[in-house]
Amino acid sequence: MDAAAEVTATSRHYVDRLFDPDPQKVLQGVIDMKNAVIGNNKQKANLIVLGAVPRLLYLLQQSSSSLELRTECAVVLGSLAMGTENNIKSLVDCHIIPALLQGLLSPDLIFIEACLRCLRTVFISPVTPVQLLYTDPTVIPHLMSLLSNSQRTQEYITQIFSHCCKTPEHQTVLFNHGAIQNIAPLLISPSYKVRMQALKCFSVLAYENTQVSMTLVNVLVDGELLSQVFVKMMQRDQPVEMQLTAAKCLTYMCRAGAIRTDDSCIVLKTLPCLVRMCSKEHLLEERVEGAETLAYLMEPDVELQRIASTTDHLVAMLADYFKYPSSVSAITDIKRLDHDLKHAHELRQAAFKLYASLGSNDEDIRKKITETENMMDRIVSGLSESSIKVRLAAVRCLHSLSRSVQQLRTSFHDHAVWKPLMKLLQNAPDEVLVMASSTLCNLLLEFSPSKEPILESGVIELLCSLTQSDSSALRVNGIWALMNMAFQADQKVKVEIVRCLGTEQLFRLLSDPDTNVLMKTLGLLRNLLSTRPHIDQIMSSHGKQIMQAVTLILEAEHSIEVKEQTLCILANIADGNTAKELIMTNDDMLQKIKYYMGHSNVKLQLAATFCISNLIWNEEDGSQERQDKLREMGFVDVLHKLTQASDPNLSDRAKTAMQQYLA
């Protein structure tokens, strides 16, 4: 008999004993099984395959089973759950969760603890659907009521909560069933495990949740404010796991608006604690978590970014995140190498995220980042890494740095950053596309030296295709980049944009439900219709449709910004040589301009007056006829009235226009 067959035979013997008619023998069989599976994954897998689980669950639920037998069954099931993910899948498929939850209604504490321990093991596995905790609405309140029973119930239940709170709905269910009041006292439990699990609960409850965070700020634990309890937990003499989780709680409360960013518990305690976590003496996992949390904490706040950038040489400290796996000499330890490799991309991702956050507002910090050793090369290679998460973080970092005129003119140009960026745009998932196209928008600004080579690389096709995306963020970025590209561009580029985008798509974008898309499309149109020869050429081929679009926008319910931008386009058309006739022969449009000259909003009055100014300008052919027609339509009276306007810009512009009549 070979070894494998022998194991299977003994396993079968264990399972057979579960069916013995003598309850005492069944109990002994379960106890022997418990001892046989401890630390033996092969044995666990065999017992599952041979059908031990349904029988153990049956015995666990039978009211005729003795309490001792039921408890031992729960212990064995807990041990089987400690094996591989496949084991957990098999247990869940056998409906272990409802059976164990039912077991929690027993009056016996030892049995309850055994059920909770097994539930905890099942729920912390990534393969278990967390929704199973919320299926029966009586479960959460019952778990809350069991919290006071013992340190074990406290540890297991809080661990279940912290692993099963994945969505805003979960946060709300737990909050509504008194999670905060029930879990807060556990933060001062004598048991470290209980304190730690309670702390983890608060971090997942507070994450991006204003209601929870606002409530937490006012909670007292043994007469002390919760935020102060968290501050004590961040002290250096506490275990790192506790320091990190407490820092997360305060970070999440701050980001949810419950604690001010200039509060001393953030500036003097949380931020320095997280910077400390990024240093070399910590484990790689801790450094990843520290950097990601710090990036999240200071993302919206320039003051925190400045403080962090000068704390403990953080910018230089992060450069170390790119040095894993460590050099060849240290590769003697295979386990260590494996660990380093696994965490290397997480470290790079975390460093990129933190650099992105640090550099999102301040020019000096960006300079500091780009001058860090090989930084631009690292970002460029990050853009083509196999891990999607690293690519996304690298492009976020690039986007943050691309907000700097200085960097666009220097390091971006020196490293031809646009090449890998264009490659990244070919077939990336949406979230990468959004970041990459935002960065591209900045690289296409008129002072960016990358603009020329990008234009030559066939970018127009790519951007036009983005404007057809279902995602409004991608439509905005596509049209925004085209708008930047068209600014003060050659006629050739403008014609290519119009050809590639197509008038149909251009007009579809002008009726886009997203205001940002509409504004950027108007911006594109305004940039296309600048300089006279360009205005005349585009209006001669597309004039009718453009005038139609302008009419529709001026008649519809749109914001002041949209109407102002539209009137500016009209003023550009009025500046063309032949194009202005499209306005002059359109009485309906002239009446609209007159209406906006008398509007209550000064911005619209200014833009409309500018249109008229361009139409009646003296030095141009046909100015006399145009002046006469507009006088007949009553424009001179309107201009005269506007010379008295309280806004100095408006009265000046009206006076300038009036002078055309007097010349």
Domain count, the chain: 1
**CA of 137: how far to CAs of 101, 173, 205, 306, in Å?**
12, 9, 19, 47
Integer Cα distance of 485 and 481 in angstroms? 6
Q: Of how many residues is the chain composed?
A: 663
Q: Are strands 220-221 and 224-225 parallel, antiparallel or unpaired?
A: antiparallel
Give domain status of residue 63, yes or no: no
Residue 435: what residue type? M
Are 205 and 179 within 8 A, CB to CB?
A: yes
**CA of 494: how far to CAs of 453, 498, 500, 525, in Å?**
16, 6, 10, 10
Residue 639: what residue type? L
Instruction: Give the pLDDT band of residue 36 (cuts 50, 70, 90).
Output: confident
Integer Cα distance of 66 and 71 in angstroms? 9
Query: What pLDDT score does 70 carry?
Result: 95
Q: Is the pLDDT of residue 3 over 70?
A: no
Tell me the Ramachandran region of residue 599: left when phi exceeds 0, alpha when psi lies from -120 to 50, beta otherwise. Answer: beta
Give domain status of residue 571, yes or no: yes
Is this prediction's pTM over 0.85? no
**CA of 231: how far to CAs of 227, 292, 377, 539, in Å?**
6, 19, 39, 66
Query: What pLDDT score does 444 carry?
Result: 80
Give domain status of residue 78, yes or no: no
When pLDDT is averaged across residues 322-349 and rounded to a whole number, the result is 73
Instruction: Give the pLDDT band of residue 315 (cuts 50, 70, 90).
Output: confident
Give domain status of residue 161, yes or no: no
Query: What pLDDT score does 168 carry?
Result: 96
Range of the domain at 624: 529-662
Which residues does 511 contact at the CB level (< 8 Å), separation at least 6? Answer: 518, 552
Q: Is the pLDDT of residue 623 over 90?
A: no
Other CB atoms within 10 Å distance of the CB of residue 636: 17
DSSP 490: -
Integer Cα distance of 372 and 367 in angstroms? 9
For the segment 172-191, what is each residue's pLDDT rounded down to a tens digit?
999 999 999 999 999 999 99
When pLDDT is averaged across residues 483-501 and rounded to a whole number, the result is 89
Which residues does 179 contact at the CB level (< 8 Å), separation at least 6? Answer: 144, 161, 201, 205
User: ∠ CA(549), CA(553), CA(557), 5° rounding?
Assistant: 155
Are 635 and 594 within 8 A, CB to CB?
A: yes
Integer Cα distance of 364 and 567 in angstroms? 39
Portion of the chain with pLDDT greater than 70, in percent = 97
Query: What pLDDT score does 292 carry?
Result: 94
Distance between alpha carbon 489 and the CA centroid of its chain, in Å? 34
Detail the DSSP E strand segments found in 490-636.
none
Better-scored residue on pLDDT, 382 or 183 = 183
Q: Is the pLDDT of residue 394 over 50?
A: yes
For the segment 104-160, what is each residue's pLDDT rounded down to a tens digit?
999 999 999 999 999 999 999 999 999 999 999 999 999 999 999 999 999 999 999
CATH number at 626 reads 1.25.10.10
Are 480 and 463 within 8 A, CB to CB?
A: no
**CA of 127: how far to CAs of 123, 169, 170, in Å?**
8, 20, 18
Query: What pLDDT score does 456 carry?
Result: 79
Are 325 and 383 within 8 A, CB to CB?
A: no
Which residues does 176 contact at the CB level (< 8 Å), separation at least 6? Answer: none
Which of 147-161, 244-258, 363-377, 437-451 has the least mean pLDDT? 437-451
Distance between alpha carbon 429 and the CA centroid of its chain, in Å? 14
Query: What pLDDT score does 329 carry?
Result: 47
Instruction: Give the pLDDT band of residue 332 (cuts 50, 70, 90).
Output: low
Which of 262-276, 449-463, 490-504 has the least mean pLDDT? 449-463
- Indicate the average pLDDT of the chain: 89
When pLDDT is averaged across residues 413-426 and rounded to a whole number, the result is 81
Phi, psi of 220, rounded to the nearest 5 degrees: -105, 135
Which of 344-348, 545-549, 619-623 has the least mean pLDDT? 619-623
Which residues does 187 contact at the CB level (< 8 Å), separation at least 6? Answer: 195, 198, 199, 202, 221, 226, 229, 233
Other CB atoms within 10 Å distance of the CB of residue 429: 10
DSSP 113: H
Instruction: Give the pLDDT band of residue 331 (cuts 50, 70, 90).
Output: low
Instruction: Quote the radius of gyration of the chain (alpha carbons, Å).
Output: 34
Residue 285: what residue type? E
Instruction: Give the pLDDT band of residue 619 (cuts 50, 70, 90).
Output: confident
Are 183 and 158 within 8 A, CB to CB?
A: yes
Q: Is the pLDDT of residue 338 over 80?
A: no
Query: What pLDDT score does 377 carry?
Result: 87
Instruction: Give the pLDDT band of residue 663 (cuts 50, 70, 90).
Output: low
Instruction: Give the pLDDT band of residue 327 (cuts 50, 70, 90).
Output: low
Which of 68-77, 239-248, 307-316, 474-483 has the least mean pLDDT? 307-316
Q: Is the pLDDT of residue 557 over 90?
A: no
**CA of 452: how far to CAs of 439, 444, 487, 647, in Å?**
16, 8, 13, 42
Q: Is the pLDDT of residue 330 over 70?
A: no
Give domain status of residue 650, yes or no: yes
Give domain status of residue 465, yes or no: no
Half-sphere exposure at residue 499, Cβ-oriented, CA atoms within 13 angstroms: 7
Per the DSSP assignment, residues forming a β-bridge with 224 are 221
Query: What pLDDT score does 238 carry?
Result: 96
Q: Is the pLDDT of residue 1 over 50?
A: no
Query: What pLDDT score does 83 carry?
Result: 81
Portion of the chain with pLDDT greater than 90, in percent = 53
Integer Cα distance of 659 and 649 in angstroms? 16
- SS3 annotation, 67-85: HHHHHHHHHHHHHHHCCCH
Give domain status of residue 626, yes or no: yes
Q: Is the pLDDT of residue 595 over 50?
A: yes
First to last CA, the chain: 115
Are 431 and 468 within 8 A, CB to CB?
A: no
Give domain status of residue 234, yes or no: no
Better-scored residue on pLDDT, 371 or 162 = 162
**CA of 267: how far to CAs of 27, 256, 306, 369, in Å?**
59, 16, 11, 22
Q: Which helix (H) or strand (E) holds 220?
A: strand 220-221
Integer Cα distance of 219 and 206 in angstroms? 13
SS3 state of residue 556: coil
Better-scored residue on pLDDT, 446 or 301 = 301
Query: What pLDDT score does 417 carry?
Result: 81
